[in-house]
Amino acid sequence: KQEVTQIPAALSVPEGENLVLNCSFTDSAIYNLQWFRQDPGKGLTSLLLIQSSQREQTSGRLNASLDKSSGRSTLYIAASQPGDSATYLCAVNSGGGADGLTFGKGTHLIIQP
């Protein structure tokens, strides 16, 4: 059974810092990995999708890497802003879509102005 762990559970940094969020998964036989952000009481916003054959994806100030063999992914946020404050969730697709996504518990990020 796939398990996803995110470290740290919470993080508070001053504005402008670069930061790294970590995600690990137990079964390396994945189809893809997706990073989401969730604002309080809201749905999920997709940030980046990395397919199993890819090593990284970039979107603006965000960069996500994937090391399938070691079961790890990182989300790098450059030049953090207060608007980046949210919970960041990592989700793994292990079954080609038919099995649903397995989520980590998330990293609660606060960017101090």
Instruction: Name the one range near another protein by CB under 8 A: 20-28, 65-73, 76-84, 85-93.
Output: 85-93
Interface residues for another protein in 18-37 (CB under 8 A)? 30-32, 34, 36
Write the burial class of residue 60 (CB in 10 Å: 0-12 exposed, 13-18 middle, 19+ buried). Answer: exposed
What is the nearest approach in angstroms of another protein to the Cβ of residue 22? 16
Q: Which residues are registered as beta bridge partners of 37?
A: 45, 88
Closest CA to 14 of 89, 106, 84, 72: 84
In the list 23, 84, 106, 111, the residue contacting another protein (rule: CB under 8 A) is 106
- Using CA atoms, how far apart are residues 57 and 78, in angstroms rounded to an integer? 14
What is the nearest approach in angstroms of another protein to the Cβ of residue 74? 19
In the list 14, 60, 83, 96, the residue contacting another protein (rule: CB under 8 A) is 96
